[in-house]
Structures are given as structure tokens and as C-alpha cells.
Amino acid sequence: MLLPALFFITVLIIGPFLLSVWFSFTDQRLVPRPIPTKFIGTTNYERMFADPLFWQAIWNTVFFAVIVTPVQLSMSLGAALILNSAVPFRGFFRSVAILPLLLPMTVIVSIWAVLFRIPSGPFNAVYQWFAGQGNYVDFLGNPSVAMLSIVALSAWATFPYQMLIYLAGLQEIPQDLYEAAKLDGARAWHRFRYVTWPGLRNVNIFLLIITTVGALKLFTQVDILTKGGPNGATTTIIHYLFKRGYANQKVGYASAVAVFFFLAVTAIALFQRRVLKNEGEA
């Protein structure tokens, strides 16, 4: 009974993991060549650390994660607070709010491609109210705006997931705490600051970690909308890995990137966990 699952885990996770560590020290190609693959030591890692595009991919990925995580979590928490309050038609609003989660990312990307259209897509139509006719923002073609556009799209696309988890967290907070705070004359902001926020501590830690880790894996949006451009402005680590390993067929080199990615993600998740847990206990 145990064997089928163990077989799949071994063949599809543990096996490939060990293989990628091995490949990262070789000049393995995707399609076999007449010359045999050979062990080349740490050459892949040296080349990787010497490639400016690699560093740009890291910077872009970190930039994306650092911006999208707070933006998306605030959206999710705000939406959860609204949907947890006594609004009329709450069921309807809740159904509407989870819609983006149900849409496949590729669908969302094509919808946003219209929103981002230049010179007269919906976003630019709004922009022109303020900036005047003829002006527009090149949301995907301007290197300093492109990643922020991806941030907006991504936050919209996945905020309902965190929203539902916040809603679950809000419902766990005992109602009598709010009653007591009200009796003490605490205003809405104080009730949020001293009852809701501390009550969400574990939820916040969990969401911060999964949202960051998810953000570090950014690929689909970038691959379809910008192909990593303009000028590498939206190249992420996974996109870089995909380009080198799949398009350029340099599996050995891309495996070094994969090993680096694995170590970095694990380190960041452990670091966040440690810092956040300690902060609460101090």
C-alpha cells in the first residue's frame, strides 16, 4: 500500500533532485551529443555567478517578491475584513471576490494584456484623464514599469487565496474579545490593532512565507506577456532557468541555477520562520 506513492516520490522528486545536483557539475545537454557528457567541477557555478543576466534575474525576482507580497497580503486582508463585516449580500460579494482564483493564469494574462494595451487600453484611458490626450504609459514595454505591471496583475490574480485564509483566521478570533473591547470604548482602529492583528499572528506568518515562496517562482505571467523583456527587466530566476535549460538546452548549466534556487528558497523560508517566530515571543 505504501509502495505506489513511494515509487512516485522517489522517481519524480528524489531522483530528479539528485540528478540535478549531479548535472550541475557536468556539461549535460538536453539532446545527446556525439561527445560524451563530462564532469566539469564547479565551472557551471562560476559561469553562473559571472553572468550579469543571472544577477539581474535575481534582482528582478527579489524586487517582485518584496513588492508583491505586502501589496497582495494587504489586498487580501482588506478584502477579508470587508467580507467578514456585516455587509448586505455578503454571499454574493464573496463569490465575486474568489473569481480570479478560479481563472487559469493564462486566461488572466490575456485579459490583462488588453488592460495594458497601448496607446488606448483601459488603464491608459484612465491615465489620459489625468495626463491629457496623447500621453500613455507603456506598461509592458518600459523597463522601469514592466515589473510593477506584473506585480499588479499577479496580486489581482491570486489575492483570493490569501483572502480566504485570512477569513478563516478572522473567524477563529473569539467574538467576546471584540465585545470586551467595545465595552472598553475601543474604536474600530484600536479594535483592529489590539484584537484582530494579534489574533492573526499565526495566519500572517504562514501567509508571508507561502506568498514569498510563491512569488519567487514567478514564471507564467512573464513568459507569456514580456518573455523576460524589455531588456531583461522582467527576467526571473525560473525564466532564466527555463531559457538556459530548455531553449538553449544547457541542462548542466541550468541545473546549477536550479540548485541555487532550491537553496535560496529554503534559506529564505527558514529565515522568515525563525525571525517571525522569535519576534512574537520576545
Cβ nearer to other proteins, comparing 146 with 215: 215
Minimum CB separation of residue 40 from other proteins in Å reads 17
Closest separation in Å from C-beta 152 to other proteins: 11
Q: Which is nearer to other proteins, 2 or 282 (CB)?
A: 2
Opening angle at CA 148, ends 146 and 151, nearest 5: 115
DSSP symbol at 282:
-
CB of 62 to other proteins, least distance (A): 16
- Distance, in Å, from the CA atom of 280 to the CA atom of 219, rounded to the nearest integer, reads 34
CB of 122: closest distance to other proteins in angstroms?
5
Query: Quick one: 114 or 180, whose CB is closer to other proteins?
Result: 114
Rounded least distance, CB 222 to other proteins, Å: 11
Decide whether 145 or 269 has the Cβ nearer to other proteins: 269
CB of 24 to other proteins, least distance (A): 10
Q: Nearer Cβ to other proteins, position 37 or 43?
A: 37
First to last CA, the chain: 46
Half-sphere exposure of 154 (CA within 13 A, CB side): 27
Contact 233, 146 (CB under 8 A): yes
What nine digits make up the cell of 253?
548549466
CB 142 within 8 A of CB 58: no
Amino acid identity, position 261: F
Dist. CA 149–CA 182, nearest whole Å: 41
Which among 130, 128, 110, 106 has a CA at the least distance from the CA of 119?
128
Question: Per DSSP, what are the bridge partners of residue 26?
Answer: 39
When the beta carbons of 42 and 110 are compared against other proteins, the nearer one is 110
Phi-psi region of 232 (alpha: psi -120 to 50; beta: other; left: phi over 0): left
